[in-house]
Chain A
Amino acid sequence: MSERAEERLPGVQYSRWSGIRKHTMLCCVSLVMLYPLLWMVSSSMKPENEIFTSASLFPSHFDLSAYKRGWFGLDVSFGRFFLNSLIVSVLSVIGNVMSCSLAAFAFARLRFPGRHLWFSLMLGTLMLPYHVVLIPQYILFLNLDWIDTFLPLVVPKFLACDAFFIFLMVQFFRGIPRELDEAARIDGCSAWRIYWKIMLPLSTPVLATAAIFSFIFTWDDFFAPLIYLGDPTHYTSQVALRSFIDSTNQSDWGGLFAMSSLAVIPVFVFFVFFQRLLIEGIATTGMKR
Chain B
Amino acid sequence: MASLTLNKIVKRFGSLQVISDVDLSVEKGEFVVFVGPSGCGKSTLLRMIAGLEAISGGELRIGSEVMNDVAPAQRGIAMVFQSYALYPHMSVRKNMAFALETAGLPKPEVEARVNKAAAILQIQNLLDRKPKQLSGGQRQRVAIGRAIVRDPQIFLFDEPLSNLDAELRVQMRVEIAKLHRELGATMIYVTHDQVEAMTMADKIVVLRLGKVEQIGAPLDLYNNPANQFVAGFIGSPKMNFLDATLLSSDETGSVVSLAGQSLRIPRGLAAVHEGRVQLGIRPEHAMLSSGDIALGQMEIVLVEHLGGNTLLYGKLSDGQTLTVQVEDQARLGMGDTVQIFANAARCHLFTGDGRAFAAV
Binding site for B on A (CB under 8 A): 177, 179-180, 182-189, 193, 197-198, 201-202, 283-289
Contact = CB atoms under 8 A, between A and B. Distances in A.
Contacts of B150: 187
Interface stretch (B79-87, B170-178, B279-287, B291-299): B79-87
Given A183-B85, A185-B51, A288-B139, 4 more contacts: A184-B98, A188-B73, A193-B102, A288-B84
A284 B52 CA distance: 22
A9 to B, nearest CB: 27
B81 A183 contact: yes
A266 B130 CA distance: 35
Contacts of B84: 286-288
- Report which residue of A179, A184, A287 has the largest number of chain B beta carbons within 10 angstroms of its beta carbon: A287
Interface string B64-91: 0000000111000111011111111100
A182 to B, nearest CB: 5
A288 B82 CA distance: 8
A225 B82 CA distance: 53
A262 to B, nearest CB: 38
Nearest to A182: B52
A187 B88 contact: no
6 shortest interchain CB distances as A-B pairs: A285-B132, A286-B131, A286-B86, A188-B73, A187-B99, A286-B88
Contacts of B216: none
A287 B98 contact: no
A185 B72 CA distance: 7
B303 interface: no
Contacts of B86: 286-287
Interface of B: 50-52, 71-73, 77-79, 81-89, 95, 98-99, 102-103, 130-132, 136, 139, 146, 150, 163
Contacts of A180: 85, 87
A186 B131 contact: no
Contact of A285 (B73, B131, B163): B131
Contacts of A182: 50, 52, 72, 79, 81, 85
Nearest to A193: B102
A286 B146 CA distance: 13
30 contacts: A180-B85, A180-B87, A182-B52, A182-B79, A183-B85, A183-B146, A185-B51, A185-B52, A185-B72, A185-B73, A186-B50, A186-B72, A188-B73, A188-B99, A188-B102, A188-B103, A189-B102, A193-B102, A197-B98, A198-B87, A201-B89, A202-B88, A202-B89, A283-B89, A283-B130, A285-B88, A286-B86, A286-B87, A286-B131, A288-B84
Contacts of A179: 81-83, 85
A224 B55 CA distance: 52
Given A182-B52, A185-B72, A286-B88, A177 B102 contact: no
